[in-house]
């Protein structure tokens, strides 16, 4: 029997996956170039882990897209790859945003002594229940034409999208609050870098919420029976664009230094003190020492 020719959707999905694989490889290389892997801190570790998981997902998606026609094993693996790697990428993004909230709101205290940080970590625990719901309500079937359809039944997909909207909205509010407050740790002439971190992460949080919500909305629309090629394509775009957003958030934002202000004729008598204060504004966690610089440099 002749092997069926791939349709246009399959070809587009494979091209997108190959592009995403190349892009993740480039981003990973840029973030780790010249870096001693043994000295990677918690924040950088989350970013690099996101690249690795995104690369793994897009690679598996490319393989499964090209093999799931008339293949129930490949079809079943497609939904499990989505549930495992896609869910892992979401957890890492949530943890990354929680870490950013900690940096811009409680940078002078340890994580374990910060009530807000502990609450945010606690808010991630319902995802375990949601993951169980997704596994129990997964769909992976072949139709009469041997086309693979995967997805989640409404109970799991609706629960997932409600949780995603809630946690993303909550974290977004936590970034808006210190930016609007006149008494937050972000205020003051020496806190330009922290304000840039907060603004960029706020934008990144909104983008992540829009991407993920749009992706899960498609599952709700198809009531859990979506063409596997389209499902893997949308998930590939989701994880890749989220990884690119995190890359942009963690890239250095240009902030005028006191010396630059002085060269433009702007008086700054406390430049040395302000710079020293900013560099010392770091958490004192004995296990993970993270300075403000590590969240704003283009590593």
Residue 181 counted as domain residue: yes
Average pLDDT of the segment spanning 146-171: 87
Average pLDDT of the segment spanning 40-64: 88
List the one residue out of 192, 177, 159, 165 whose CA is nearest residue 116: 177
Residue-number span of the structural domain to which 96 is assigned: 40-254
Q: Is the pLDDT of residue 214 over 60?
A: yes
DSSP class per residue in 52-88: HHHHHHHHHHHHHHTT-TT-HHHHHHHHHHIIIIIHH
pTM attached to this predicted model: 0.75
* Count of domains observed in the chain: 1
Residue 281 counted as domain residue: no
The per-residue pLDDT for 176 is 76
The per-residue pLDDT for 21 is 92
Residue 33 counted as domain residue: no
Residue 68 counted as domain residue: yes
Local confidence band at 298 (pLDDT 50, 70, 90 cut-offs): very low
The per-residue pLDDT for 247 is 86
For 156, how many CA atoms within 13 A lie in the half-sphere containing its CB?
A: 21
For residue 245, the SS3 value is helix
Local confidence band at 263 (pLDDT 50, 70, 90 cut-offs): very low
Q: Which of 39-43, 119-123, 227-231 has the lowest mean pLDDT?
A: 39-43
If one compares 106 and 165, the residue with the highest pLDDT of the two is: 165
Residue 22 counted as domain residue: no
Average pLDDT of the segment spanning 162-167: 88
Q: Which of 49-63, 142-156, 164-178, 197-211 has the lowest mean pLDDT?
A: 197-211
Q: How remote is the C-alpha of 211 from its chain's centroid?
A: 10
Give the chain's count of helices (H) and strands (E): 11, 3
Q: Is the pLDDT of residue 134 over 80?
A: yes
Local confidence band at 286 (pLDDT 50, 70, 90 cut-offs): very low
Residue 242 counted as domain residue: yes
Q: Is the pLDDT of residue 253 over 80?
A: no
The per-residue pLDDT for 65 is 87
Residue 15 counted as domain residue: no
Residue 283 counted as domain residue: no
The per-residue pLDDT for 19 is 92
d(CA 281, CA 291): 7
Contact by Cβ (8 Å): 166, 76: no
């Amino acid at each position: 029997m002749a092997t069926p020719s791939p349709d246009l959707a399959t070809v587009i999905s494979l091209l997108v996956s190959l592009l995403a694989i190349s892009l993740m490889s480039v981003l990973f290389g840029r973030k780790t170039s010249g870096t001693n892997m043994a000295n990677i801190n918690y924040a950088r570790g989350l970013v690099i882990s996101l690249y690795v998981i995104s690369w793994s997902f897009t690679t598996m998606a490319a393989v499964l897209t090209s093999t799931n026609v008339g293949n129930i094993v490949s079809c079943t693996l497609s939904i499990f790859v989505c549930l495992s790697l896609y869910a892992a990428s979401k957890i890492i993004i949530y943890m990354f945003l929680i870490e950013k909230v900690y940096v811009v709101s409680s940078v002078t205290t340890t994580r374990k002594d910060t009530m807000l940080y502990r609450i945010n970590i606690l808010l991630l625990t319902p995802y375990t229940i949601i993951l169980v719901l997704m596994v129990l309500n997964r769909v992976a079937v072949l139709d009469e034409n041997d086309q693979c359809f995967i997805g989640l039944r409404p109970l799991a997909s609706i629960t997932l999208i409600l949780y995603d909207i809630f946690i993303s909205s909550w974290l977004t509010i936590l970034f808006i609050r210190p930016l609007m407050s006149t008494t937050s740790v972000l205020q003051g002439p020496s806190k330009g870098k922290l304000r840039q971190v907060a603004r960029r992460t706020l934008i990144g949080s909104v983008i992540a919420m829009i991407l993920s919500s749009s992706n899960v909305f498609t599952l709700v629309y198809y009531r859990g029976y979506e063409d596997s090629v389209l499902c893997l394509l949308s998930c590939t775009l989701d994880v890749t664009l989220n990884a690119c957003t995190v890359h942009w958030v963690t890239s250095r934002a240009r902030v005028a230094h006191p010396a630059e202000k002085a060269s433009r004729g702007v008086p700054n008598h406390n430049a040395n003190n302000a710079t020293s204060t900013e560099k010392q504004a770091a958490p004192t966690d004995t296990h993970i020492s993270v300075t403000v610089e590590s969240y704003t440099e283009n590593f």
